[in-house]
Structure 1
Amino acid sequence: MSETMPSAVPPVPPAPPLVHPPRRTLRRRLAAWYRGRSLRSRLAALTALAVAVAIALCALTCWFIVEQRMYDLLRKDLGNGITHIPPGIAFNGDGCASTPQEALANAKKAQSAIGASQPFGGGKLQDIQLVSADGRTVCVPADATRAIVVDPADLTLQPGKTTVRSGTYTDGDSALIRVSWLFDRNARPSGIALTAAPTKPVEESLQQLALILGAVAAVGVVGAGLTGRLIARSALKPVDDLTDVVEHIARTEEVGTTIPVTGNDEIARLSTSFNSMSTALANSRDRQTRLIADAGHELRTPLTSLRTNVDLLIRSNDTGRPLPEATRTKLLGNMKAQMQELTLLIGDLLQLSRPDSPKPGQNLAVVALHEIAGRAVDRARLRGPGLVFELDIAPWYVHGDGAALERAVINLLDNAVKYSPPGGVVDVRLHEGLLTVRDHGPGIPQDELQYVFDRFWRSPSSRQLPGSGLGLSIVAQSVRDAGGEVSLGPARDGGPGAQATVRLPGRPVAP
C-alpha cells in the first residue's frame, strides 16, 4: 500500500521590516524654524535668548546665595544647643510630670534657664524640647502649641556630639533642629535636647524672592526681544538699502548704482565693496559696449572693400567682359591684404577677449625674456628691411605667459617699424628687467599720450597707416598679466621719436 507524500510547501519569505520615517527632533524643528525666519527676527531671537540665559543665571545665583545666607543665619541663631540639664528638671518624674500640663510647665522652666534666643524672622522664643535617654519622657514648653517630632536617629547620637538636621513639628510645619546631648551634674549623659526654629518664614521669603526674580526675568526677556528687534532694524537699515539697490539693478539692469556709505563698520565695508563692484561692472559694460562699437567700425571698412572687389569680379564674369589681367591681379592682391588685415584684427580681438587676470597656473612658466626679444627683433627685421636695429640685451628670466609676452614685444617693435623713417634706427635694450624700444620717427604729441593704450585708438595723423589700434592695448594687458608696467612717451635723450618702456619682475639667471 503506497503512501502519498505531502507536497513541499515553499517557505514564506519574512516580511520586510517596517521602515518608519525619521522623526524630526526638537532640535531639527528649532533649526528649521530658525532658518525660516528673517535676519531681523533671528537677531531679535538671539538677543532675547542671550538675555534670558544671563538673567536666569543671575537669578539662580542670587536665589541660591540668599537661600544659603538665610539658612546660615538660622543655624547660627540656633546656637550650640543645650549641654547640661537645667536646674529643676529631672527625668525621673520629678521635673517632668506625667501630665502634659506639668510637662509643658517644666519645659518652660528649662527654656528660661538656658536663655534661648529668638529665631530668625520670628517674635517668639525658640522651640526647645527635652527628651530622656530612653525616649520615653518628653518635656515641652508650657506655652507651646505643638511639639517637635523626635527622630529615632536622635537617640543614637554619640554623647558629646551635636548635629543639625531638618525636621517637622507635630502640625506638619518644617523646622531646622539642633540635636545635642544633655549631661547631669555628674557629667553623665541623661538625655537629649532638641532646639528648633521654624523654616516656614524662610521658605515664604524664598518663594517671594523667586516670584520677584521670575517677574523681573520675564520683563527682561520681553524687553530684550523688543530692544533686539529695534536694534536689528536700525543696524540692518544699510542692508535693506543694499537689498533695494540690488533688486533695482536686477529689475532694470542699471549697473553703476551706488548707495551712501556712513561709518567704518562691517556694514560700511560691505556697502563700499558693493559700490566698487557696481562701478566696476558699469565700467566693464562701458568697455564692452565701446569694444563692440569699435570692432564693428573697424570690421566694416575691410568687409566693405572685400564686398566691393568681389562684386566687381562677379559683375565682370556675369557680363562676359573679363577684367584686364593686371587689374584682376591687383584686385586679388587687395583682397588678400584685406583678408590678412581681418585675420590680424580677429586675432587681436581674441587676445583682448581674455580675462584681465589669468587663472592660477594657466600658461604660466619661467620664460627667457632676452630670447623672446631676440626672436621678436628677427621678425621685425623682415617687416622693416631698410631699418637698422641696435641691440643691447642681457639675460632676464620672468614668470609669465611666453606667447603673450612675445606678442607684446612684437607689437612694440611693429609700432617702432611703422613710424620709423626709411633707413632709421631702432634701439632695443634689456637690462635688469627693463626693456626699452626706441624709434627715431615723428614721436607722439603730448596731448595724445593718455590714449595710446586705449583699444581702437589711433592718432589722427596715422589713421591712413595699416593697423587696428589694438596692438598697444594687447601690450598693456600682457605686461599687466605678468605683473609688470609699461609706458610710452618721448625719447629720454630729448631726440626725435618715441620710447616704449616695459619693466617686468624676474632675475638674471634661470631659477
Structure 2
Amino acid sequence: MRLVGRLTGWFRGRSLRSRLAVLTAAAVAVAIAVVAVACWLIVRNTLYGQVQQSLKDADPPGAPNQSRVLCDTSAAAALAKAATAPEGRLPFHQNKYDNQFVIADGTVCFPPQSNKIIQHTDADLTASTGKPVYRKGSYADGSPAMVRIWGGATTIDGQSAVLLTALPTQDVEDSLRSLALLMASVAGLGVIGAGVTGRIVARSALKPVDQLTDAVEHIARTEEVGTTIPVNGQDEIARLSTSFNSMSTALANSRERQTRLIADAGHELRTPLTSLRTNVDLLIRSDAQGRALPPETRARMLGNMKAQMQELTLLIGDLLQLSRPDTPNPEAVRAVVPFHETVGRALERGRLRGPSLVFDTDVRPWYVHGDPAALERAVINLLDNAVKYSPPAGTIDVRLQGGRLTVRDRGPGIPAEELPYVFDRFWRSPSSRQLPGSGLGLSIVAQTVQDTGGQVSLGPAPDGGAGTQAVVVLPGQPEEPR
C-alpha cells in the first residue's frame, strides 16, 4: 500500500503531458503483455499437443510372451543390462520412443538397446488399466519429457507391469524459451515505442492547452484582455479554446465599455461642475470684494446652480442604474409585477411633466416577473423621451396589449442613420444636444427590458406620420399567477 501511495503521489506530481505518455505506455504494455502471454500459451499448448498426439500413436503394450525385457531392482542396473543386450524382436523398440516397465515391487525393466531412464512416481503404479494417462515428466538426467502411462495391460513374469513411454521435450522447451525471450524483447520495444509515441501525441494534442496557458499567463502578466488562440477541430480542446476566446473577448468588451462609461461620465460631469464652480467663484468674489450682485443676477445664478445640482443628481442616479452588470442577476429581487399598474403610475408622472400634452391611452392587464422599481423607471424614461420631443399640445399614444407596450409621440422623429445608436450610453442626437438630459435614459430602458427577458426597439411611426414609436415586449400573462 505504501508503494502504491508513493506511485500515486509521483504520478500526480507529473505534468499532464508526462501522465498521458505514461498512461499510453502502460496501456500498450498491458495490451502487449496480454497478447504475448496468450500467444505463448497457445503455442505451448499446440506444441505439447503435438507431442501428446505422437505418444498416442505409439505402439500399445504387447503380450508378455512376445516381449523380452531386462529387469533389475535398480533402474540403473536394468538399463546397463539393456544397453548391452542384442536387439530383439520387440515391438517396443521398433519406434522412436523410450519405453520402460515398472512392476509394483519396484522392479524396473527395459527393452534391449534402451539408453534412458524415465523418472516414475508412486502414482504411476496405480494408473488405471486400458486407458493411457499423459503427464509432463523427465528423464533421470533431468531433461524434460512427455510421458504416457499405461497401467495393467502388460505382465512380466506373471506380475502386472506399468508401461512408461516417453518423448523428449527439450526442443519444445527451448522453442518456448526462445519465443518468450523474443516476445519480451518485442514487448519492451513496443512499450518504449509507445512511450515515445505517447509523448509526441500528447505534445501535439496538448498544444492548444499550451497556447491557452501562454495566453492566460500573458493576460495575468500584462492585463491585456482580448487575447485569443487559434481553434482547430471540434473536440474538447477546441471547445475549451472557443470558450476561452469568448471569455477573453467578453472581458475585453467589458473593459472597453467600462472605460467608455468612465470617460463619458467624466465628460458629462465636467460641464455642470464647471458651471457650478464658475457661479460659486462669482458669489465668493462678490462677497470678498464687498460688491454685492444685483438681486436679479444673484437669484438667476442660484436658480442655475439648483438646476445644475438637479442635473448632477439625475446623472448620478442614471450612472448608478447603469453600474449593474449587463447580464441579468439571478439573485436580484424578481417579483410578480402588475405591469399595467406600473404603466399607470408612470403616466401620472408623465402628465405632470407635460401638462399641455394629450395622452391617448389603452392599458390592459399584464403581469410580468421583474424588478418593480426598474420597470417603472424604464417606462418613465420612455414617457420622458416622448414628452421632451413632443410639440406643444401634441398627443402621445400609450398602448399596452398582450405584453406589448407602445409609446408614440408626434415629434420630429429620429433620422434612420441614428437609430442604431439610440440605446448606446451617453449617445445623444446632434439635433437634440441643446435639450436637457444625459443620454442614459434609453440605455436604462434597454438594460431593464433585457434583464426582464423582453425586447425593446425604437423606430419611426408605423403609419408614416411624424414622430417616433418605442416598442417594449415583455413575457408574462394577462392574469395574476397563483
Superposition TM-score, scaled by structure 2 size: 0.91
Displacement of 1:148: 1.1
Displacement of 1:102: 4.7
| Structure 2 residue matching 1:507: 3-state secondary structure | coil
1:50-86 per-residue CA deviation (whole Å, 9 max, x = no partner) reads 1111111111111111122222222222117734435
1:306 paired residue among 276, 280, 284:
276
Do structure 1's residue 130 and structure 2's residue 88 form an aligned pair? no
The aligned amino acid for 1:251 is R
1:110-151 per-residue CA deviation (whole Å, 9 max, x = no partner) reads 7x515765xxxxxxx111112234332x22243333211221
- What does 1:105-504 correspond to in 2, within 5 Å? 109=88, 112-114=90-92, 125-136=96-107, 138-183=108-153, 190-504=160-474
Structure 1 residues not aligned, in runs of 5+: 1-23, 118-124
Partner Cα separation in structure 2 for residue 183 and residue 456 of structure 1: 115
Do structure 1's residue 28 and structure 2's residue 8 form an aligned pair? no
**Contact 2:83 2:115 survives alignment (8 Å):** no
Partner Cα separation in structure 2 for residue 132 and residue 85 of structure 1: 15
| Structure 2 residue matching 1:165: 3-state secondary structure | strand
Displacement of 1:171: 1.4
The aligned amino acid for 1:134 is D
The aligned amino acid for 2:32 is I
Partner Cα separation in structure 1 for residue 168 and residue 365 of structure 2: 102
The aligned amino acid for 2:283 is L
The aligned amino acid for 1:54 is A
Residue 51 of structure 1 aligns with which residue?
28
Displacement of 1:403: 1.5
Displacement of 1:469: 0.2
1:89 paired residue among 41, 53, 67:
67
1:295-343 per-residue CA deviation (whole Å, 9 max, x = no partner) reads 0010011111111222222223222333333333332222222111111
Superposition TM-score, scaled by structure 1 size: 0.87
**Contact 2:386 2:408 survives alignment (8 Å):** yes
Residue 9 of structure 1 aligns with which residue?
none
The aligned amino acid for 1:212 is L
For structure 1, which segment, 209-218 or 154-163, has the greater mean C-alpha deviation from structure 2 after superposition? 154-163
The aligned amino acid for 1:66 is V
CA RMSD of superposed structures (Å): 2.7
- What does 1:68-83 correspond to in 2, within 5 Å? 68-79=45-56, 82-83=60-61
1:446-488 per-residue CA deviation (whole Å, 9 max, x = no partner) reads 1111110010001111111110000000111111111111100
The aligned amino acid for 1:473 is S
| Structure 2 residue matching 1:259: 3-state secondary structure | coil
Displacement of 1:108: 6.2
Counterparts in 2 of 1:108 and 1:371: CA distance versus 1, 3 Å: farther
The aligned amino acid for 2:301 is L
For structure 1, which segment, 150-159 or 380-389, has the greater mean C-alpha deviation from structure 2 after superposition? 150-159
Counterparts in 2 of 1:101 and 1:232: CA distance versus 1, 3 Å: closer
Percentage identity across aligned positions?
64
Partner Cα separation in structure 1 for residue 190 and residue 86 of structure 2: 53
**Contact 2:118 2:139 survives alignment (8 Å):** yes
Counterparts in 2 of 1:470 and 1:142: CA distance versus 1, 3 Å: same
Do structure 1's residue 41 and structure 2's residue 11 form an aligned pair? no
Counterparts in 2 of 1:108 and 1:290: CA distance versus 1, 3 Å: farther
**Contact 2:339 2:367 survives alignment (8 Å):** yes
**Contact 2:86 2:112 survives alignment (8 Å):** yes
Partner Cα separation in structure 2 for residue 49 and residue 314 of structure 1: 86
Residue 11 of structure 1 aligns with which residue?
none
May I ask how many residue pairs the two structures share in their alignment? 477
| Structure 1 residue matching 2:66: 3-state secondary structure | coil
Partner Cα separation in structure 2 for residue 316 and residue 105 of structure 1: 151
1:31-61 per-residue CA deviation (whole Å, 9 max, x = no partner) reads 3322332222222111111111111111111
Partner Cα separation in structure 2 for residue 160 and residue 235 of structure 1: 68
Structure 2 residues not aligned, in runs of 5+: none
1:342-387 per-residue CA deviation (whole Å, 9 max, x = no partner) reads 1111111111110112332421122111111111111111111111
